[in-house]
């Protein structure tokens, strides 16, 4: 066990007991199929890869496994206006710091309009 407090999310790996069908999305994507373990930097980690290489799929899986809604926002925003959320989150094993973040936000550009509209309707965005 690591005794450093940062990063809050230290490692992500595929659970050894996960049931995986490599013929279907998301495991048919090479970067997901070969995802054995990701180690995060204490400050910031960048995912770099060509269009369609799986960055959003992996980030969505991590965010959902952490308790965020697949479309983003705080953990209180649980929006899912499409059926297209992958099952990757079910197979992820997260190693988290003993210190929990006070707050968090999954900023997802693809669906930010939906989340912002929802927050606006709730009266959170009075600008
Ligand atoms: N819901 C889905 N169902 C089936 N296939 C999907 C789904 N979402 C994405 N894909 C496919 O999975 C692959 C990875 O897509 P993803 O959006 O994760 O890539 P990306 O690295 O984020 O790309 P970009 O740089 O364009 O944002 C692509 O081939 C994409 O067509
Ligand atoms: Mg993407």
pLDDT of 79 reads 84
Cα distance between residue 76 and residue 53, in whole Å: 29
pLDDT of 97 reads 96
Size of the chain, expressed as the number of residues it contains: 127
- Calculate the average pLDDT of the chain: 91
Cα distance between residue 88 and residue 28, in whole Å: 11
Region 3-7: mean pLDDT is 84
Question: Distance from the CA of 17 to the center of ligand 2, in angstroms?
Answer: 27
Structure-token pair, residue 72: 């983003």
The finding on whether 10 has its CB within 6 A of some atom of ligand 1 is no
Residue nearest to atom 16 of ligand 1 (CA): 54
For a mutational test of ligand 1's pocket, the pick from 22, 54, 64, i.e. the residue with the most ligand atoms closer than 8 A to its C-beta, is 54
Cβ partners under 8 Å of residue 107, min gap 6: 72
Cβ atoms within 10 A of the Cβ of 100, count?
Answer: 9
- pLDDT of 2 > 80? The answer is no
pLDDT of 83 reads 77
Asked if 104 and 94 touch (Cβ cutoff 8 Å), the reply is no
Ligand (nearest to CA of 87): 1
**pLDDT tens, residue by residue, 66-123:** 999 999 999 998 888 877 899 999 999 999 999 999 999 999 998 899 999 999 998 8
CA 64 and chain centroid, separation: 5
Residue 31's nearest CA partner among 39, 43, 22, 40 is 22
Cα distance between residue 39 and residue 94, in whole Å: 10
- pLDDT of 1 > 70? The answer is no
pLDDT of 124 reads 78
- pLDDT of 3 > 80? The answer is no
pLDDT of 84 reads 80
**pLDDT tens, residue by residue, 12-45:** 999 999 989 999 999 999 999 999 899 999 999 9
pLDDT of 93 reads 97
Question: Distance from the CA of 55 to the center of ligand 2, in angstroms?
Answer: 5
The finding on whether 70 has its CB within 6 A of some atom of ligand 1 is no
Cα distance between residue 62 and residue 56, in whole Å: 10
């Amino acid at each position: 066990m690591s005794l450093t407090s940062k990063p809050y999310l230290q490692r992500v790996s595929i659970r050894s007991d996960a049931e995986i069908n490599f013929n279907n999305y998301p495991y048919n994507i090479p970067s997901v199929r070969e995802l054995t373990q990701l180690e995060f930097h204490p400050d910031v980690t960048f995912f770099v890869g060509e269009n369609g290489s799986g960055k959003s799929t992996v980030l969505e899986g991590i965010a959902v496994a952490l308790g965020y809604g697949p479309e983003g926002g705080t953990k209180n925003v649980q929006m899912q206006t499409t059926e297209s959320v992958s099952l990757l989150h079910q197979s992820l094993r997260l190693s988290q710091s003993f210190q929990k973040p006070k707050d968090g936000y999954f900023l997802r550009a693809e669906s930010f309009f939906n989340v912002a509209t929802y927050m606006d309707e709730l009266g959170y965005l009075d600008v």
